[in-house]
Amino acid sequence: TRAPGAYHLATGLGILSGCVGSNLSFFGNGNIEHWPNLYVLMLGPTGNAKTTSMRIGTNMLQRACPGTIYADEFSQEAFISALANHPTMVLEVEEFPTLLELSQRSYLQGLKETLTKLYDPRETFRRSTKGEGDVTITRPALTIIGASTTEWLVVNLEEVDFRSGFMPRFLLWPQAETDQEPD
């Protein structure tokens, strides 16, 4: 595609992470078990095929590992329940600032905090939900692949998103330059 190679690399790493989940792990950082969950955010101007890169990868993952790509819209309780049933999941966020805006709604209150906690590999994540009572997610392996323009992201981010640890968990993939068109 005409998308920069960096976007395909970012998507590819996210897709591999979403495919492997917690089935492959390594020990590091204080002898703590880790697995390859990634939070990837591609940044660039409108029209440079960020979404195209994401779609190519997520379509391939959906065919290879059905049920791994989570719904476009959801409540926090439905998200937690789905993750309990399928702990390896990819959240595809075509317009990342939309997720930030949605997280302010009552049914998604606390989503950013939950996503921050789920980033760090853990044996279990427990939550008590209103509808289902106690829910346990065993070895959650969440990957987020998102995209945004830099301008829209800056408008929607708050200082607390950085201080809380939410944004520092994301690998930011800017478009450095346009790749040469193949002959």
pLDDT at 158: 85
Mean residue pLDDT of the chain comes to 88
What's the token pair of residue 116? Answer: 């921050």
What's the token pair of residue 143? Answer: 């990957």
What's the token pair of residue 150? Answer: 């830099």
pTM of the model: 0.89
Please write the tens of the pLDDT for every residue from 19-49: 999 999 999 878 889 998 899 999 998 888 8
How far apart (Å, rounded) are the C-alpha atoms in residues 182 and 162?
A: 39
Residues in the chain: 183
pLDDT at 107: 81
Residue of 85, 88, 91 lying closest to 115 (CA atoms)? 91
- Residues sharing a CB contact under 8 Å with residue 84, sequence separation 6 or more, in sequence order: 135, 136, 137, 138
Residue of 70, 51, 45 lying closest to 7 (CA atoms)? 51
What's the token pair of residue 10? Answer: 């970012």
At residue 153 the predicted structure's pLDDT band, cuts being 50, 70 and 90, is confident
- C-beta separation of 141 from 86 below 8 A: no
